[in-house]
Amino acid sequence: MARVQVLSDDLLFGSRLQAGLAAAGHEVTLGSALDPQAQAIVADLTHDASARIAGLAARQAPVLAFYSHVESEVREQALAAGFELVVPRSRIAREGPALLDGLLATAR
């Protein structure tokens, strides 16, 4: 599968997401520093979204980002920055591995 970097400040949710993606066959690292070898990035935009979006501006890998559903402006910011897929946090919790697999299939 793919080498995936989960960028999240929420260790509990990030660990849950990491476990789900790993169970789907991906090699997953969790942290706040970008892995330059990552083939995909899963980015948590629920805290300090503007800084995280700016930090990913020079990314080489496709980005699956998630945000708090009440902050629709964050979604617009991420899409304007060129992120490939931006979904509410509840959706990534339910469908994270499937969303990532779909993103990877279209990015190749």
- pLDDT at residue 108 in the model: 60
pLDDT tens, position by position, 31-55? 888 888 999 999 999 988 888 888 8
User: Is pLDDT of 57 > 80?
Assistant: no
* Vertex 10: Cα angle to 8 and 13 (nearest 5): 95
pLDDT of 102 > 80? The answer is: yes
Which CATH superfamily includes the segment(s) 6-107?
Response regulator (3.40.50.2300)
Nearest to 10 by CA among 55, 56, 74, 67: 67
Q: Kindly provide the residue ranges of all beta strands, DSSP E only, lying in the chain, ordered along the sequence.
A: 3-7, 27-31, 40-44, 63-67, 85-88
Which token pair is 62?
A: 């496709």
The pTM of the whole model exceeds 0.75 = yes
**Domain regions of the chain by residue span:** 6-107
First to last CA, the chain: 12
